[in-house]
Amino acid sequence: MVFRPLTLALALALSGCAVPAATGPQPSYAAYFSPGGGCTAQIVDAIRAAQRSILVQAYSFTSEPIAQALLEATRRGVEVSIIVDKSQLKERYTVADDLMQQGILVLVDSAHAIAHDKVMVIDGDTVLTGSFNFTRSAEERNAENLLVAKDRALANRYASNWQAHRRHAKPYATVWP
């Protein structure tokens, strides 16, 4: 489902989120839903289209297809950086340790009760966010949503938030069990 920019801008304004006017190409938005709505495929496709950078914030991260796509992106020269919630240190099926061991910067945000973000900022102009955790359960069993926003102004806001969390996050390697 694709939304008109005005619809999302109105929703953001009513929620109290101030988003500066977009410059450049007309923003576009698409929404996906699970179970079985192709959220994982949309995320993997967006990662495969990345050319420069991917910033990730993940509460739960156990999805092999998403992890594999991020590894492939780094092999193409895309800079990938990930912040995970501290729960991933004890998560049996987390992919965070594998990604770290493959050379991707993985950080742990333990400054909050939970770091409940599920966000990717791709190339500074695309945001993927919603309730969708980066897990198989989110795709196959849970009622989840994913918003893909091609909106540079919104991406700048999310990238700034990512950087704010980056400042207090610790390298996964230093806290990894």
Q: What is the pLDDT of residues 36-57, one digit of tens each?
A: 889 999 999 999 999 999 999 9
pLDDT at 99 over 50: yes
**Domains of the chain by residue range:** 29-175
Separation of alpha carbons 174 and 43, rounded Å:
29
123 is a catalytic site residue:
yes
| Both structure tokens of 170 | 């610790």
Structure confidence at residue 70 (pLDDT)? 97
Confidence tier at 14 by pLDDT (50, 70, 90): very low
Is the pLDDT confidence value at 10 over 80?
Answer: no
Q: What is the pLDDT of residue 115?
A: 66
Per-residue pLDDT at 19: 52
Query: In the predicted model, what is the mean pLDDT of residues 74-85?
Result: 93
Phi, psi at 120, each rounded to 5°: -135, 135
Gap between the Cα atoms of 62 and 91, Å rounded: 9
| C-alpha 134 chain-centroid distance | 8
Distance CA 140, CA 137 (A): 5
H or E stretch at 139? helix 136-140
Q: Please give the residue that has the higher pLDDT: either 42 or 3.
A: 42
Domain 29-175 carries which CATH code? 3.30.870.10
Higher-pLDDT residue of 111 and 28 is 28
pLDDT exceeds 90 at position 176: no
Mean pLDDT of the chain: 83
Quick check: 115 and 109 in contact, CB under 8 A? yes
Residue 89: pLDDT band with limits 50, 70, 90: low
Regarding predicted confidence, which is higher, 42 or 13? 42
Considering 118, 125, 151, 165, which one is annotated as catalytic?
Answer: 118
Q: What pLDDT, in 10s, does the model give residues 101-160?
A: 888 888 888 767 776 888 999 999 999 999 988 888 888 888 999 999 999 999 999 999
pTM of the model: 0.82
Examine the residue annotation and report whether 116 is marked as an active-site residue of this protein.
yes
Q: What confidence score (pLDDT) does residue 159 get?
A: 97
